[in-house]
Chain A
Amino acid sequence: MWARLIAIVIKEALQLKRDRLTFAMMFGVPIMQLLLFGYAIDTDPRNLPTAVIAADDSQITRTVLSALANTGYMRFTHRPASEAEANALLQRGEVQFVVTIPSDFTRRLVRGERAQIAIDADATDPMAAANPLAAAQPAIMQALARDLVGPLAGLRARPDAVELVLQRRYNPEGKARLNIVPGLLAVILTMTMVMMTALAVTRERERGTMENLLAMPVRPIEVMIGKILPYVVIGSVQVAVILFVSRLLFDVAIEGSVALLALGTALFIIVNLAIGFTISTVTQNQLQAMQASIFILLPSILLSGFMFPFRGMPVWAQWLGETLPATHFMRLVRGLMLKGAGFGDVTGELLALLAILLIVTTVAVSRYKVTLD
């Protein structure tokens, strides 16, 4: 019995050794996961870009702002001149927060009237907004307690000397599902589209029909588009189903333009299919194609901002995330579904998807061979 068992073990080990890609995958995937979970993912993101409109420039205002900065959550990156400009920054996702200090802030505080500070947060991802907002009030109170000296010392005792007006934009109730639905859309499409095309081509090679196909007068681009098109339809149906169900069950409506969403989705589906096709040109069998698809899928879940706030990742991981189509698609869908973004707000993401598509298609067409060489 042992001899036979050993015979099988040796055979399996030899086969595994020959299958380089599986081998690489077995070590690559856990290491990637470890690095991502260990280093990259911070569910409590800090140094979030923040716009400040300080209409009142006084010692106390500066104290309040530095108190907010000292929480570590906010990093003042923009000083917009107007509220409209600030709103645009928030809409495009360039800043996570807008802190507004009204012009009468110091005056009201000194008079003992309730002084207000407004913080508008982009709450599409409730996880990224919750902690900074929770930390703001105590930080301000502490700083004021230190600074309110002399004639102002009397104000210290009053807990409501400064009122923080918090506004969670786009997702006022901080509901996670509002954020999850667009993300899920990106992940489901990545998963099915990449895998299906990758398998569709490797299947031909595995079953020996590729040789027959190549002997006939079809061009690579015809094979590629012909293989991809049916899946574009499948992907579109998937999207429609997901959107319909989210509307029905989660009450997630589309705020922005449906046509724009359709355009972005179509582009994203095509990018994924092109990636799948590229995978199929480098892998030999369906198993390898499957593994390579997972290799794309995993970072699309972990690094795209789906599972964890994008800004909670170190810069290198953010760069990695930027190369993934899912990242751009997710931003696009969040903008369109939750923020009611317009064409101008999402051009960046559309262009990024287009650029990825161009690169991937070039690789695919150059790798696909008309011969068996």
Chain B
Amino acid sequence: MPLAIDVHDLVKRYGSRTVVDHVSLAIEQGRICGFLGPNGSGKTTTLRMICGLLTPDGGGGTCLGHDLVRERDAIKRQAGYMTQRFGLYEDLTIRENLEFVGRVYELDRLKERVDGALERLGLATRQGQLAGALSGGWKQRLALAACVLHEPKLLLLDEPTAGVDPKARRAFWDEIHAYAAQGITVLVSTHYMDEAERCHEIAYIAYGELMARGTADEVIAQSGLTSYIATGPGADRLAPKLRDAPGVTAAAAFGATLHVSGPDRERLLAAIAPLRTDSIKWTEAPPTLEDVFIHLMGRAHDNAPGG
């Protein structure tokens, strides 16, 4: 499979601060790659560099076979970028927004395409409403429809489902999978673990550095983490006692249960040993993606200068 995105050693600095530090990313055509990482980790900056909105300070590569810097216009014509903040015009109607986007891309059969997009969205009857009047979930779906109007080969989505309810999120992801089935490559940044699991592969970035790469299972396996779940009365209240214990990277309550994880099995067992009582049952469980990410975040933080 040819690579839709093939960038290496991307660097972006703002003053003395390095926001993206030598990030390399290769994504095959037709794959959905989840881009994960804490806030301010450089996800948006990386996406902007890939779609030609920012000029990298170092590194380079190709996007859809076009050079990141020199062939910016060609990339813009073939890629769709959905901004984190609603980027369409709230004071234009749904239809007017789509028509504007279509005209900017100089699309033929504009009416037909806009009609089609409205039909797929299920917004045909509301096409005369102002985009600003839509709810968050609908705004995101409209933005996605605008993004794919010119039939791009690559979609770059920056936290498209932030603040959207679960039903609308599910609908949104069904659409993403439908596009991938058509051969469109998708790079989507998110904070949601369930969304990460719906991706073909994930890339985890923290403090500007790429920390993990692969399918969800691969990333979990690579982490080498061990996880235990404690159940029983008061298990969830043990979290504060374990959080700072040596060998524990994460201890979090999930309802009445407690999830604990750490990179070293022996040290983790040592940490939970004093808390083994008759009423609380400890069982080993496969680590979740969230456990892995919190672990990775801590590791990146250790590496970060002054962190």
Residue positions of A touching B, CB distance < 8 A: 207-209, 211-218, 370-373
- Interface residues in B39-97 by Cβ distance below 8 A to A read 48, 51-55, 72-73, 76-77, 81, 83, 85-90
24 A–B contacts, CB within 8 A, in A order: A208-B85, A209-B87, A209-B88, A209-B89, A211-B53, A211-B85, A211-B87, A212-B81, A212-B83, A212-B88, A214-B53, A215-B52, A215-B53, A215-B81, A216-B76, A216-B101, A217-B73, A217-B76, A217-B104, A370-B72, A371-B52, A372-B48, A372-B53, A373-B54
Q: A207-B89, A215-B52, A216-B76 are in contact. List 6 more A-B contacts (CB 8 A).
A: A208-B87, A211-B85, A215-B87, A216-B104, A218-B104, A373-B55
Is the pair A215, B51 in contact by a Cβ cutoff of 8 Å? yes
Residues of A within 8 A of B87 (CB): 208-209, 211-213, 215
Smallest CB-CB separation from A370: which chain B residue? B72
Residues of A within 8 A of B72 (CB): 370
Is the pair B55, A371 in contact by a Cβ cutoff of 8 Å? yes
Q: Does B192 contact A (CB under 8 A)?
A: no
Complex CA–CA separation, A212 to B89 (angstroms): 10
Smallest CB-CB separation from A210: which chain B residue? B87
Complex CA–CA separation, A212 to B101 (angstroms): 10
Is the pair A217, B53 in contact by a Cβ cutoff of 8 Å? no
Residues of B within 8 A of A371 (CB): 52-55
Is the pair A372, B104 in contact by a Cβ cutoff of 8 Å? no
Complex A-B, nearest 4 residue pairs according to Cβ-Cβ distance, in ascending order: A212-B87, A208-B85, A215-B81, A217-B76
Which of the listed residues A211, A214, A215, A370 has the most CB atoms from chain B within 10 Å of its own CB? A215
- B83 contacts which of A211, A218, A373 (Cβ < 8 Å)? A211
Residue positions of B touching A, CB distance < 8 A: 48, 51-55, 72-73, 76-77, 81, 83, 85-90, 101, 104-105
Smallest CB separation, B233 vs chain A (Å): 45
Complex CA–CA separation, A217 to B73 (angstroms): 6
Residues of A within 8 A of B105 (CB): 216-217
Complex CA–CA separation, A173 to B89 (angstroms): 54
Complex CA–CA separation, A218 to B51 (angstroms): 14
Given A209-B89, A370-B72, the answer on whether A217 and B77 have CB atoms closer than 8 Å is yes
Complex CA–CA separation, A209 to B131 (angstroms): 13
Smallest CB separation, B302 vs chain A (Å): 31
Smallest CB-CB separation from A219: which chain B residue? B73
Complex CA–CA separation, A208 to B90 (angstroms): 11
Residues of A within 8 A of B85 (CB): 208, 211
Complex CA–CA separation, A142 to B83 (angstroms): 81
Complex CA–CA separation, A372 to B87 (angstroms): 14
Which of the listed residues A211, A212, A213, A373 has the most CB atoms from chain B within 10 Å of its own CB? A212
Is the pair B54, A372 in contact by a Cβ cutoff of 8 Å? yes
Residues of B within 8 A of A212 (CB): 81, 83, 87-88
Complex CA–CA separation, A253 to B54 (angstroms): 55
Residues of B within 8 A of A214 (CB): 53
Residues of A within 8 A of B90 (CB): 207
Smallest CB-CB separation from B92: which chain A residue? A209
Is the pair B104, A215 in contact by a Cβ cutoff of 8 Å? no
Smallest CB separation, B134 vs chain A (Å): 15
Complex CA–CA separation, A299 to B105 (angstroms): 42
Complex CA–CA separation, A207 to B90 (angstroms): 9
Smallest CB separation, B150 vs chain A (Å): 9
Smallest CB-CB separation from B51: which chain A residue? A215
Residues of A within 8 A of B73 (CB): 217
Smallest CB-CB separation from A223: which chain B residue? B104
Residues of A within 8 A of B48 (CB): 372
Complex CA–CA separation, A212 to B105 (angstroms): 13
Smallest CB separation, B230 vs chain A (Å): 44
Complex CA–CA separation, A216 to B147 (angstroms): 10
Complex CA–CA separation, A208 to B89 (angstroms): 9
Smallest CB-CB separation from A208: which chain B residue? B85
Complex CA–CA separation, A217 to B71 (angstroms): 11
Smallest CB separation, B263 vs chain A (Å): 38
Complex CA–CA separation, A370 to B54 (angstroms): 9
Complex CA–CA separation, A212 to B51 (angstroms): 11
Which of the listed residues B51, B72, B89 has the most CB atoms from chain A within 10 Å of its own CB? B89
Smallest CB-CB separation from A216: which chain B residue? B104
Smallest CB separation, B193 vs chain A (Å): 27
Residues of A within 8 A of B83 (CB): 208, 211-212, 215
Is the pair B53, A208 in contact by a Cβ cutoff of 8 Å? no
Complex CA–CA separation, A371 to B105 (angstroms): 18
Residues of A within 8 A of B76 (CB): 215-217
Smallest CB-CB separation from B74: which chain A residue? A217
Smallest CB separation, A326 vs chain B (Å): 31
Smallest CB-CB separation from B132: which chain A residue? A207
Complex CA–CA separation, A209 to B54 (angstroms): 16
Complex CA–CA separation, A370 to B48 (angstroms): 12
Complex CA–CA separation, A287 to B88 (angstroms): 22
Residues of B within 8 A of A372 (CB): 48, 53-54
Complex CA–CA separation, A43 to B281 (angstroms): 94
Complex CA–CA separation, A373 to B52 (angstroms): 10
Smallest CB separation, B6 vs chain A (Å): 20
Which of the listed residues B55, B87, B101 has the most CB atoms from chain A within 10 Å of its own CB? B87
Smallest CB separation, A143 vs chain B (Å): 71
